[in-house]
């Protein structure tokens, strides 16, 4: 049924309650997998699924109702002890909750349930309810394929085979196992083919007061557990299945929670990590050191995404997750984690730079300190005049930025101060881009985007001010570091550069003062 035919208030209440039900079900499912005999947990899962089934039926939401009904049936059988809790049952119930979440998100965004095919999951549940032969289809298929070789081997050809067999066998494994995994990926995932990176901050969905703060607190706890579990896995090798299951559950929990609040980057990244780990759980892949390194990099990215959420305003600041998503997708499709290109290139160090010390004329530029044009370009590739103009411009914009933040602190509704802050950030962004300082440009662009979003959406800058101060402070530190690198390399870089600038342009003379203040 479409939203157009529902009472708007009933529809809104259903969406909120449905998300709350799933938020209750998923963590309890993950806990139940660890404690399969806990009847209280089963009841806590059964009740919200039962409520979801009833409410969706009342509103004529057939897709949600049909799937929730089947999930309720198998949960009821688990409660009664008629079937035991096992990994396959848990997988199918988790799959059902994932689909229910997708349908509910479609309903909220488009007003309709969407064209989501629930038939495969319902069929899997039906097979389990009929006696649990869901494993049977997979099991007979494996022996059937494995039975043919033994039958052919004991035949008259069994004796001649041992002689040639040992020779090709040792030769085949080394090339297949060693070079394939550490070298290159078979599947190439182009970043351009992935959803585009959109740097503009966007609002998240917060259900009730304190919901976003609770999400961030839980996310940080999961990140800590993920780091500990992955480091343990790295130390113990492939490790027991339980450690893999724990890591899978943590990513699954993050995926579900981030889906509720609508954090696209967190949801997409954790979904790909979960997909990869699911193959490991099923025995289709091995948890290698390269995989652990990749997952640790994913956890670092997840932590960065969580850290940039402003709990007070529920604003998310996107980051480009495409490189990690591409590697996760490649690993899931190839069945192994390929080493990054940088690691492959580092295998052959070349000791050729040693003959370079022979040319000693390099000592000649040292005496040429008096002239600004020759001494300033310490960082190779930079024109000294560009560096001087950049430094002067940045110092001025830092001053404007500081004044705008101070003005907003006194009057958070001052449009003049908001516009001034935005202009200063955009100028820093453009200047950094011209100088090729990508990290600095991205930070300035991100902060300017936050200000622009607040302007366009009419967000109260009183709530954004703490976050803006933090982002501008980070920006100030990055500017100080960038200027230090541009000046570094001569005997007295800062003194030489600033001493020459006043003669050409009187304004830049006080430049060092604002930088010190910004720090």
What are the residue boundaries of the structural domains of the chain, listed by start? 3-148, 181-342, 373-518
Domain 3-148 identical in fold to domain 373-518: yes
pLDDT of 270-279, one tens digit each?
999 988 998 8
Q: Within 10 A of 497 (CB to CB), how many other CB atoms are there?
A: 25
* Tokens, residue 356: 């370079």
Give phi and psi for 167, each to the nearest 5.
Answer: -70, -50
For residue 338, give the DSSP letter.
Answer: P
For residue 306 the two structure tokens come to 């969580």
Q: Distance between CA atoms of 248 and 242, rounded to whole angstroms?
A: 10
CATH superfamily of 181-342: HPT domain (1.20.120.160)
Q: Which residues of 214-251 are buried (b: 16+ CB within 10 A; e: fewer)?
A: ebbeebeebbebbbebbeebbeeeebeeebbbbbbbbb
Closest CA to 102 of 117, 90, 87, 88: 117
The answer to whether 429 and 445 have CB atoms below 8 angstroms apart is: yes
Residues 6+ apart with CB under 8 A from 135: 88
60: left (phi over 0), alpha (psi -120 to 50) or beta: left
d(CA 509, CA 516): 14
User: How many angstroms separate the first and last alpha carbons of the chain?
Assistant: 58
Which tokens is 49 given? 């699924």
Structure pTM? 0.42
- Give the per-residue pLDDT at 177: 39
Q: What distance in Å separates the CA atoms of residue 170 and residue 177, rounded to the nearest whole number? A: 11
Whose CA is closest to 125, among 151, 80, 169, 93?
Answer: 93
243, 244, 245, 249 alpha-carbon torsion, rounded to 10°: 100
CA–CA distance from 390 to each of 105, 387, 396 (Å)?
A: 47, 5, 10
Task: Output the six-digit token pair for 342.
Answer: 């940088």
- Give the tokens for residue 135: 């494993």
Residues lower than pLDDT 50 in the chain: 1-5, 133-183, 342-348, 351, 361-378, 489-519
- Superfamily assignment of 3-148 in CATH? HPT domain (1.20.120.160)
Residue with tokens 């703490």: 466
Residues 6+ apart with CB under 8 A from 78: 42, 84, 85, 89
* Total Cβ atoms within 10 A of residue 297: 15
Say how far residue 214 (Cα) sits from the centre of its chain: 19
Residues 6+ apart with CB under 8 A from 218: 257
Task: Decide: residue 109, CB within 10 A, 0-12 exposed, 13-18 middle, 19+ buried.
Answer: exposed
pLDDT (0 to 100) of residue 255: 86
- pLDDT given at position 508: 40
Q: Identify the bridge partners of residue 488 per DSSP, sorted by sequence position.
A: 490
Task: Find where tokens 């090339």 sit.
Answer: 175
pLDDT confidence of residue 333:
87
The answer to whether the beta carbons of residues 53 and 73 sit under 8 Å apart is: no
Contact residues for 207 (Cβ-Cβ < 8 A; gap 6+): 16, 19, 20, 260
Residue 321 Cα to chain centre, angstroms: 6
pLDDT at residue 377, rounded to an integer: 41
Name residue, tokens 């024109």. 383
Rg, the chain, Cα only: 30
pLDDT value for 96? 92
- Cα separation of 444 and 440, whole Å? 6
Distance CA 264, CA 304 (A): 14
Report the top-level CATH class of 373-518. mainly alpha
**d(C-alpha 378, C-alpha 480), whole Å:** 16
Residue 24 contacts residue 17 (beta carbons within 8 Å): no
């Amino acid at each position: 049924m479409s939203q157009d035919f529902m009472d708007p208030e009933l529809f809104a209440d259903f969406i909120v309650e449905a998300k709350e039900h799933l938020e209750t079900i998923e963590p309890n499912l993950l806990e139940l997998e660890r404690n399969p005999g806990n009847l209280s947990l089963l009841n806590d899962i059964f009740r919200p699924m039962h409520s979801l089934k009833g409410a969706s039926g009342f509103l004529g939401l057939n897709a949600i109702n049909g799937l929730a009904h089947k999930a309720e049936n198998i949960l009821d059988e688990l409660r009664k002890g008629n079937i035991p809790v096992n990994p396959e049952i848990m997988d199918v119930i988790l799959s059902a909750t994932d689909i229910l979440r997708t349908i509910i998100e479609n309903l909220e965004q488009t007003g309709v349930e969407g064209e989501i095919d629930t038939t495969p999951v319902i069929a899997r549940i039906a097979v389990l309810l009929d006696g649990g032969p869901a494993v049977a289809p997979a099991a007979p298929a494996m022996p059937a394929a494995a039975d043919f070789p033994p039958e052919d081997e004991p035949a008259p050809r069994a004796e001649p085979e041992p002689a040639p067999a040992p020779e090709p066998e040792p030769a085949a494994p080394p090339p297949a196992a060693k070079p394939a995994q550490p070298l290159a990926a078979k599947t190439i995932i182009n970043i351009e083919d992935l959803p585009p990176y959109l740097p503009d901050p966007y609002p998240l969905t917060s259900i009730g007061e304190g919901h976003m703060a609770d999400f961030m607190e839980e996310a940080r706890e999961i990140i800590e557990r993920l780091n500990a579990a992955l480091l343990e896995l790295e130390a113990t090798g492939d490790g027991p299945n339980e450690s893999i299951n724990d890591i899978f559950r943590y990513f699954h929990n993050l995926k579900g929670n981030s889906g509720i609040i609508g954090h696209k980057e967190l949801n997409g990244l954790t979904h790909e990590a979960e997909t990869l780990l699911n193959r490991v759980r099923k025995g289709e892949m091995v948890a290698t050191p390269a995989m652990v390194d990749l997952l640790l990099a994913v956890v670092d990215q997840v932590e960065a995404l969580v850290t940039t959420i402003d709990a007070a305003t529920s604003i998310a600041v996107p980051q480009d997750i495409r490189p990690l998503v591409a590697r996760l997708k490649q690993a899931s499709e190839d069945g192994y984690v390929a080493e990054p290109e940088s690691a492959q290139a580092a295998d052959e160090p070349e000791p050729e730079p040693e003959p370079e010390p022979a040319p000693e004329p390099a000592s000649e530029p040292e005496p040429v300190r008096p002239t600004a044009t020759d001494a300033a370009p310490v960082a190779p590739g930079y024109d000294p005049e560009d560096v001087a103009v950049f430094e002067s411009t940045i110092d001025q914009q830092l001053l404007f930025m500081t004044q705008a933040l101070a003005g907003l602190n006194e009057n958070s509704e001052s449009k003049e101060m908001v516009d001034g802050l935005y202009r200063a950030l955009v100028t820093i962004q453009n200047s950094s881009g011209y100088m090729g300082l990508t990290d600095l440009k991205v930070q300035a662009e991100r902060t300017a985007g936050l200000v622009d979003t607040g302007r366009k959406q009419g967000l109260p800058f009183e709530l954004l001010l703490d976050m803006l101060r933090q982002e501008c402070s980070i920006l100030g530190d990055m500017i100080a570091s960038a200027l230090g690198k541009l000046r570094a390399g001569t005997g007295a870089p800062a003194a030489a550069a600033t001493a020459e600038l006043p003669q050409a342009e009187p304004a830049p003379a006080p430049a060092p003062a604002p930088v010190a203040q910004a720090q």
